[in-house]
């Protein structure tokens, strides 16, 4: 949600670090004033959409019965999370490398992970 459509590592790192320092828990993020969040993440751009995504993801995380999940189906769809975000969630948060993502960088990562899993351990 915070890192999509931003190419600068420095900008991402500064904004993400600042956000999680200010709001270390989902509840803290929900209680945040939009103006305060804006000051931290404004360099990422697209603020109204990012703020809406933060609120929606956090609310669902805190209220979803059972294991939190993200998907493209209506019951799991979250504002601001499309195919790339969905694939990223399942690959990185759920360690699901069985999927075939559409993004070339995610494809490379999944291929690398699959190769790593096939290599025998050397003792």
* pLDDT tens-digit series, residues 31-67: 999 999 999 999 888 888 889 999 999 999 999 888 8
1 or 36, higher pLDDT: 36
Q: How far is Cα of residue 22 from the mean position of the Cα atoms in its chain?
A: 18
> Hey, what long-range contacts does 59-66 have (CB within 8 A, 24 or more apart)?
59/30, 61/26, 62/26, 62/27, 62/30
Please check the confidence at residue 20 and state whether its pLDDT lies above 80: yes
**8-state DSSP, 74:** T
Q: Are 23 and 14 in contact (CB under 8 A)?
A: no
- Each domain of the chain, given as residue ranges in start order, spans 1-64, 82-123
> In whole angstroms, what is the distance from residue 62 CA to residue 120 CA?
40
Q: Are 33 and 71 in contact (CB under 8 A)?
A: no
List of residues 6+ apart from 12 with CB closer than 8 A: 2, 3, 6, 44
pLDDT at 111: 96
């Amino acid at each position: 949600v915070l890192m999509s459509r931003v190419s600068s590592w420095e900008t991402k790192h500064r904004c993400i670090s600042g956000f999680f320092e200010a709001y270390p828990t989902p509840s803290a993020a929900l209680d945040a004033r939009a103006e305060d969040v804006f000051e931290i993440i404004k360099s990422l751009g697209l603020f109204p959409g990012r703020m809406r995504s933060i609120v929606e993801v956090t609310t669902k995380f805190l209220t979803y019965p059972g294991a939190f999940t993200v998907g493209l189906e209506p019951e799991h769809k979250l504002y601001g999370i499309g195919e790339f975000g969905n694939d990223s969630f399942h690959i990185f948060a759920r360690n699901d490398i069985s999927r075939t993502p559409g993004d070339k960088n995610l494809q490379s990562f999944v291929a690398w992970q699959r190769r790593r899993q096939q290599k025998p351990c050397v003792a």
